[in-house]
Chains A and B, each alone.
Chain A
């Protein structure tokens, strides 16, 4: 199968919707970060739309591929999993999932990837100049990249991160990053501007620093940060790591959180439950995050899977070593024990009373860790964990009402423990 025609008009509606959401947030006169988030996403899609007419290369990439290289070489990034999920939600998830089924992708496969494959098959994605994919989150991503390269008949580069964070592993990954740069140089016919890369890495250093500040501020009781902010921060990171807009966005959130923390104000009038959460919230249930804080006083104080972004020192003069350090700070593929230690530490530091594990049916590797983490949290930190069987993006798997019922039961359990 090959994709000959691509339909970039699908991006028009996405830009419109994101702009509309940004305007609505501005009209509500809420904190600045609220509208900034949607402006950022709209801009990312706009850049993808106009890349070709502006004579810029477009590289589609999977999660955790260092966008710093792309920004340094004036290449427009297209972050596949995140942007395809947004596109599918705007245009209709049902149609996208049907297209995935028709393409032979079973519903047991991660819905994030099904959405990428579905939209690729239907020709709804802009035709990129190349693909870059990596194993840093899962082995399914490696196959998605292989598939897309064949489908679009485009050059591709697979970035391989080894399992262990040791000297040989780090050296290997640095060589992989060097190879990636050579690949991009061959693609564009331009050499990497290392001074420009240092400037971009300075943005990464700064955004990592601000991210760390935010994580520190969240330890305050009551919690000063909205439940939805972290997932917004992560998506922005995946789209814009190395871009100055990311720094500005993070600073806006930091300022909001800092102001509340300094005044001793919580994000809710009465904080009742402090929670850790694991993995990504189902994309179709993001509104539930607001309901959790506003209706139940349940605030999310830490997300151990997502906070590794603030780990790893960034030295702009040593970009490859810095990016390698950041890559090995991610726990998704790598030994479990350091992650368990981190989880226990965060449970204590953030004074969590309970944890929620979003158990995505399509993510076998993450779900395999549930019992270990659950037992460790109960035995070493004394906190119970609610496991919610759900799906990353497919709303047919579990309804919002079912999830709300489970949450209510869990909050009752937490009340009894007080």
Chain B
């Protein structure tokens, strides 16, 4: 059966189309429409790469912050369950998933069946998420990709102790304006280290069980990856398309549910 997994994130919508456990196509879209309209658009875009049409989809599972707005989904599942399932599909040895998105950071403890045993997220603060990095990139006046690589060239790590995104900005400004100014690469390394400390703390609250996967848009940031690996003292497993992990998990669940139905 043809199934789809939809991840309705705060900035982007991701979709994966699956048939008989094979990924037929996927899309990541940022659209002006919201909620259900964006979900429909994502599916229409993705299905264009296949020989099917949206009405051929037999089962759709929606996840992500906006999942409740997708009325046409057959099931809505929490991000933790979908992240666990997606990680298990790609990397059966993974036991911890760290998903760092635009506004949310979720850590999931995964069992050998691909189920979520435990999860934790940032509930009151965005300082360990994509919007924090975007704010910092704006402050440093450089694109995110360039900022990511810059921290690898740092000679030391500037201390940015504040956990709050707004106060961290003030610390960065102080570094820029002090005499002599802190080197830019060191500041950027400090930004990544501060994020890694925050997220590392969240992971440790649940307990680190290897292998550990990193997903979400921020998993494309090499500077942050290195900082988090340093904080946790291990090598991270990163999917080739890290933003799609939850959508993949949702699609896997859709496949399971459709098999139960038939």
Contacts and interface: CB of A to CB of B under 8 A. Distances in A.
Contacts of B119: 409, 413
Interface string B71-89: 0000001111100000000
A25 to B, nearest CB: 33
Interface in B71-121: 77-81, 113, 115-120
A222 interface: no
B120 A387 contact: yes
A398 B122 CA distance: 12
B158 to A, nearest CB: 28
A416 interface: yes
B117 A409 contact: no
Interface string B223-241: 0000000000000000000
Contacts of B115: 413, 416-417
Contact of A398 (B81, B113, B123): B123
A68 to B, nearest CB: 42
Given A384-B117, A384-B118, A416-B115, A409 B80 contact: yes
Pick from A378, A397, A416, A417 the residue with the most CB of B within 10 Å: A416
Given A389-B124, A402-B123, A408 B118 contact: no
Contact of A389 (B79, B116, B117, B123): B123
Interface in A372-413: 375, 378, 384-385, 387, 389, 397-398, 402, 405, 408-409, 412-413
A412 B82 CA distance: 11
A412 B77 contact: yes
A18 to B, nearest CB: 33
A269 to B, nearest CB: 23
B117 A413 contact: yes
Contacts of A402: 123
B124 A413 contact: no
Contacts of A371: 205
The prevalent SS among residues of B at the interface is mixed
Nearest to A361: B124
A374 B13 CA distance: 34
Contacts of A409: 78-81, 119
Interface string A153-195: 0000000000000000000000000000000000000000000
A375 B209 CA distance: 13
Contacts of B77: 412
A138 B79 CA distance: 37
A268 B144 CA distance: 52
B260 to A, nearest CB: 13
A371 B77 CA distance: 27
B62 to A, nearest CB: 13
Contacts of B81: 409, 412-413, 416
Nearest to B121: A406
Given A384-B117, A413-B117, A416-B115, A408 B124 contact: no
B116 A413 contact: yes
B78 A412 contact: yes
A408 B78 contact: yes
B78 to A, nearest CB: 4
A268 B114 CA distance: 31
Nearest to B119: A409
B96 to A, nearest CB: 15
Pick from B79, B119, B205 the residue with the most CB of A within 10 Å: B119
Interface in B113-141: 113, 115-120, 123-124
Contacts of A375: 207
Contacts of A389: 123-124
Nearest to A387: B120
A352 to B, nearest CB: 16
B124 A416 contact: no
A413 B113 CA distance: 12
A415 to B, nearest CB: 9
B49 to A, nearest CB: 31
Contacts of A378: 117
Pick from B78, B113, B117, B124 the residue with the most CB of A within 10 Å: B78
B201 to A, nearest CB: 13
B209 to A, nearest CB: 12
B80 A413 contact: yes
Nearest to A413: B116
Contacts of A417: 115
Pick from A385, A408, A409 the residue with the most CB of B within 10 Å: A409
Contacts of B120: 387
Interface in B53-78: 77-78
A408 B65 CA distance: 13
Nearest to A398: B123
A359 to B, nearest CB: 10
Nearest to A405: B78
Contacts of B116: 412-413, 416
A375 B205 CA distance: 11
Contacts of B117: 378, 384, 413
A315 to B, nearest CB: 45
Contacts of B78: 405, 408-409, 412-413
20 contacts: A371-B205, A375-B207, A384-B117, A389-B123, A398-B124, A402-B123, A408-B78, A409-B79, A409-B80, A409-B81, A412-B78, A412-B81, A412-B116, A413-B78, A413-B80, A413-B115, A413-B116, A416-B113, A416-B115, A416-B116
Given A389-B124, A413-B80, 6 more contacts: A384-B118, A398-B123, A402-B123, A409-B78, A409-B79, A413-B119
Interface of A: 371, 375, 378, 384-385, 387, 389, 397-398, 402, 405, 408-409, 412-413, 416-417
Interface of B: 77-81, 113, 115-120, 123-124, 205, 207
**A-B pairs with lowest CB-CB distance, top 10:** A409-B78, A416-B115, A412-B78, A413-B116, A412-B81, A409-B80, A384-B118, A384-B117, A389-B123, A402-B123
